[in-house]
Amino acid sequence: MASVHDRMLEDLKLKNYSQGTTMQYSRCARKFLSAIKCPPSRASERAIRGYVLEMAKESAPSTVRMHVAAIRFLYKVTLKRPKLVDSLHFPKAPQRLPDILSRGETARLLTAVHSPKHRAVLMAAYGAGMRISEACTLLTTDIDSQRGVIHIRDGKRARDRFVMLSPVLLTALREYWKMLRPTAPILFPGDSPGSFVSPEAVRNSLSKACKELGMTKRVTPHSLRHAFATHLLEDGADIRTIQALLGHGSIRSTARYTQLSVAHICKTKSPLDRLPRCGRNKVR
């Protein structure tokens, strides 16, 4: 008979959850199942809430939110006992703005990445606004040089989309291809045959480049996606276009970049500048 955890994995697969979400839910469920002292179907609402409350004392709100989501899925879908988690709410997470790389910082950072493969992945992430998972899993057939687009398949929420293929990025990809000659159709292969390059490996290369440059900003591969959107906005791109390029389901997710664009903010006149001069105190 399949274990509760195995049944949960089957339910996640049947609902077509992404591989990343499935892995995170699986990890959270394993931790929860090992922590409670009885079969999960017999756990009380008080015990479940107590587990989450203890976690909230030691973990960040984003971590707690992921565990709550996994536990709610476990009880609502797999165990068919939704009432036990109806009162389990998602904690509010502070809305902090990320550090944004300037164009000069972006150029220096990409140049400082030593691995040609990892540099090409990061250039794709910045040049087309891709998530690191999307850039790592590109296929050679996704690069359409004739139409000047990249086909991003199975993005977040299983959505496909097209993004621009920068001539600079196309040149960089061709140079990378000539140098390493990867086996098609995988554009950025991993260490084992038939695998994709690991996002963690790319993340480590980027971290080393940041240290070498002495960067004080907090930089991850996702920072390049933030920079892509912010720099487009500063160049006058329409926010709806940016939303489509990023693959955002809601315009609200894209609108946050208006808070990140210094150029956009500086162009906005303060109402103080429009007050009549007679309303100002004279300096003596």
**What is the mean predicted confidence (pLDDT) over 35-40?**
90
| Residue 86: how many other CB atoms lie within 10 Å | 11
d(CA 134, CA 156): 9
Residue 80 tokens, joined? 């068919």
The reply to whether 121 and 241 lie within a common domain is yes
Residue 1's pLDDT is 45
* Radius of gyration of the chain from its Cα atoms, rounded to whole angstroms: 23
Residue 194 lies in a domain: yes
The reply to whether 17 and 125 lie within a common domain is no
The reply to whether 187 and 261 lie within a common domain is yes
CA dihedral 120, 24, 18, 42 (to 10 degrees): 180
Residue 91 lies in a domain: no
The reply to whether 10 and 75 lie within a common domain is yes
Residue 93 lies in a domain: no
d(CA 7, CA 205): 37
**What is the mean predicted confidence (pLDDT) over 213-242?**
93
Could you tell me which of 235, 225, 37 has the C-alpha nearest to residue 124?
A: 225
Cβ partners under 8 Å of residue 192, min gap 6: none
Whether 45 has a pLDDT exceeding 90, the answer reads yes
Residue 110's pLDDT is 97
Beta strands of the chain (E only): which ranges? 143-144, 149-152, 161-164
* CATH number of the domain where residue 11 is located: 1.10.150
Whether 262 has a pLDDT exceeding 60, the answer reads yes
The reply to whether 167 and 58 lie within a common domain is no
Residue 192 tokens, joined? 């084992």
Residue 223's pLDDT is 95
Q: What are phi and psi of 196, to 5 degrees?
A: -95, 160
Assess contact for 258 and 239: CB atoms under 8 A.
yes
User: What are the percentages of helix, strand and coil residues in the chain, rounded to 5?
Assistant: 60, 5, 35
Q: How would DSSP label each residue in 81-117? A: -GGGGTT--PPP---PPPP---HHHHHHHHHH---HH
Domain containing residue 116: 103-266
The reply to whether 52 and 161 lie within a common domain is no
Active site residues: 131, 156, 222, 225, 248, 257
Residue 183's pLDDT is 86
The reply to whether 140 and 249 lie within a common domain is yes
Whether 284 has a pLDDT exceeding 60, the answer reads no
The reply to whether 174 and 257 lie within a common domain is yes
pLDDT confidence bin for 19, thresholds 50/70/90: confident
Residue 274's pLDDT is 72
Residue 278 lies in a domain: no
Which of 59, 85, 111 is at the close of a domain? 85
Whether 94 has a pLDDT exceeding 80, the answer reads no
**What is the mean predicted confidence (pLDDT) over 56-81?**
94
Whether 283 has a pLDDT exceeding 60, the answer reads no
Cβ partners under 8 Å of residue 260, min gap 6: 97, 98, 100, 226, 229, 230
Compare 261 and 9 and report the one with higher pLDDT. Answer: 9
Domain tally for the chain?
2
Assess contact for 125 and 132: CB atoms under 8 A.
yes
**Mean pLDDT of all residues belonging to the chain:** 89
**What is the mean predicted confidence (pLDDT) over 151-158?**
79
The reply to whether 129 and 244 lie within a common domain is yes
* CATH number of the domain where residue 204 is located: 1.10.443.10
pLDDT confidence bin for 131, thresholds 50/70/90: very high
Whether 280 has a pLDDT exceeding 60, the answer reads no
**What is the mean predicted confidence (pLDDT) over 141-163?**
88
Peptide bond into 185 cis (omega under 30): yes
The reply to whether 251 and 143 lie within a common domain is yes
- CA angle, residues 251, 253, 254, in degrees to nearest 5: 65
Compare 195 and 157 and report the one with higher pLDDT. Answer: 195
Assess contact for 68 and 89: CB atoms under 8 A.
yes
Residue 282 lies in a domain: no
Residue 272 lies in a domain: no
Residue 118 lies in a domain: yes
| Burial class for 168, CB neighbours closer than 10 Å (0-12, 13-18, 19+) | exposed
Whether 265 has a pLDDT exceeding 70, the answer reads no
The reply to whether 108 and 79 lie within a common domain is no
The reply to whether 68 and 19 lie within a common domain is yes
d(CA 220, CA 133): 13
Residue 96's pLDDT is 77
